[in-house]
Amino acid sequence: MSVQEYLDKHMLSRKLEDAVNAAVRAKTPDPVLFISNHMKKSVQSVITKVKARQILDSRGIPTVEVDLHTNKGVFRASVPSGDSSGMYEAVELRDGDKGVYLGNGVAKAVKNINDKISEALVGMDPTLQSQIDQAMIDLDKTEKKGELGANAILAVSIAACKAGAAEKEVPLYRHIADLYGKVSPMLPVPAFTVISGGKHAGNNLAIQEIMILPTGANRFVEALQMGTETYHHLKAVITEKYGTHDCNVGESGGFAPNVSSFREALDLVKEAIRRAGYTDKIQIALDVAATNFCIGTKYDLDFKSPQKLGQNFLSAEDMVELYRELCNDFPIVSIEDPFDKEDWEHIKRFSSTGICQVVGDDLLMSNAKRIERAILEYACNALLLKINQVGTVTEVIEVVKQAKEAHWGVVTSHRCGETIDSFIADLSVGLSVGQIKAGAPCRGERLEKYIQLLRIEEELGDQAVYCGVDWKQ
């Protein structure tokens, strides 16, 4: 018998003795079952296998799904995807074979998980999230995870996080709170997409999204009700004014009426809020995504109308004035990407006005170096957190800490290519961010995030705290 075999044998003997003694103390009617369960709990789980596959996201485009096996069970995760990627974000590995899924396949990322990542992680303790993530970063050896693919690494990182929570026998959001070093989970204010435009819809609206925030709710369940009722009132408003054909929805579930201006779209939302009876309880947020219609130093509000191309140009100064007017006339409290992603001058100027929360998305790309620059230059005051732009749970936690230390707001965000994985709901609660952007209160891949938040609030019971009016924290 080897030394290791001897130690293993006697360790098992001690655990069995402990289990028998525990059964005697408990006076259990079924000591065999009690001892069996006690032994299972006393054995530290390790990762035994990691298996990946190619699935489809909400747009019918391939993405990565992972099953991570431990002694405790199998833990599944899948990763979202955006409609574009920037040079500052982690690399989403695609196959590039135009004959298969139009080049969007992720077979290489899947193979990297099954052949390389699995081998590196087998035997590791799933509760040691930072060590697991660092092992994958070291295996990749590139700055932006371009060798293995951030989509491969993130899927495994999320699955490991779920396995870690199971090993500790705590809810996922509490495990995330432990990883962050915070012990006071909070339910975020949902930013429901109600009107879609920009690249997310086939109408002529330049801005990408109009969202509603039920900041006046007392609990998340009430916020979901308020948002959903307003969404359905908006459908009625649009139908009355434009007909049922304008009630089609964009990729995130927001309605896509063929409105001619920002103001016309906002009038529809304001009327829906009024009809729902929530005028003083619901506020509005915009995702302008201005990079999409920035031409040189001008902004073309008719960029989606070829017959009007170039007829409705606004300068950056004009855009500042437009935002001022809209915030004055509508209950707008947050604007995301009001200028081009490289127009630092004007986003700084706009942020300095203090008119509303200014969220950096394309400006930051959840990149720690970009966030650092924005903090130093006072370029914005909130981070749009897209986990697939970062690549691991550990690094996601670090950029959230970075933003919070600067007293920024944090908006956890879905992507246009989503899956039914609800991880960002637990992430938002565990990190106590004030806001979550997961799309409209419709479509399964969007609703799963909101429904998970309902479950968490129910589980927390009297301890549940909804951010509400403190949504900027």
List of domains in the chain: 3-41 (no CATH), 47-169 (3.30.390.10), 180-463 (3.20.20.120)
Using the structure block, give the residue that is written with the tokens 């139009």. Answer: 102
Find residue 63's DSSP bridge partners: 55
Asked if 155 and 78 touch (Cβ cutoff 8 Å), the reply is yes
Annotated binding-site residue numbers: 287, 336, 361
Q: What is the mean pLDDT of residues 442-464?
A: 96
Q: Give 304-360 pLDDT, tens digit per residue.
A: 777 766 667 899 999 999 999 999 999 999 999 999 999 999 999 999 999 999 999
What percent of the chain shows pLDDT beyond 70? 91
Sequence letter at residue 35: I
How far CA 144 is from CA of 72, 103, 147, in Å, comes to: 32, 21, 8
Q: How far apart are CA 55 and CA 38, in angstroms?
A: 38
Q: What 3-state class would DSSP assign to 249? A: strand
217/153 Cα distance (integer angstroms):
37
Residues of the binding site for Mg(2+): 287, 336, 361
Q: CB count, 10 Å around CB of 341? A: 21
Q: How far apart are CA 266 and CA 330, in angstroms?
A: 8
Cβ count near 369 (within 10 Å): 10
Residue 1 has pLDDT above 80, yes or no: no
Distance CA 96, CA 60 (A): 16
Spatial contact of 122 and 49, defined as CB atoms under 8 Å apart: yes
Residues 6+ apart with CB under 8 A from 293: 198, 206, 299, 300, 301, 303
- Tens of pLDDT, residue by residue over 369-406, are 999 999 999 999 999 999 999 999 999 999 999 999 99
Token readout for 123 is 């035997």
**Quick one: how far is CA 283 from the chain centroid?**
21
Overall average pLDDT of the 104-112 stretch: 97
E-strand stretches of 14-142: 47-56, 62-70, 73-78
Q: Residue 242 and residue 89: Cα distance in Å, rounded?
A: 40
Reference 40, options 166, 165, 160; nearest CA is 166
The predicted model scores a pTM of: 0.89
In terms of Cα–Cα distance, which of 325, 352, 254, 338 is closest to 294?
338
Structure token pair of residue 297: 């130093």
Q: Highest mean pLDDT range out of 3-7, 105-109, 253-257?
A: 105-109
At 324 the pLDDT is 95
Within 228-325, strands assigned E span 283-287, 294-295, 298-300, 313-315
CA distance 164 to 160: 6
DSSP 297: T
Other CB atoms within 10 Å distance of the CB of residue 42: 15
**In sequence order, what are the beta bridge partners of 409?**
382
Backbone φ and ψ of 440, nearest 5°: -75, 160
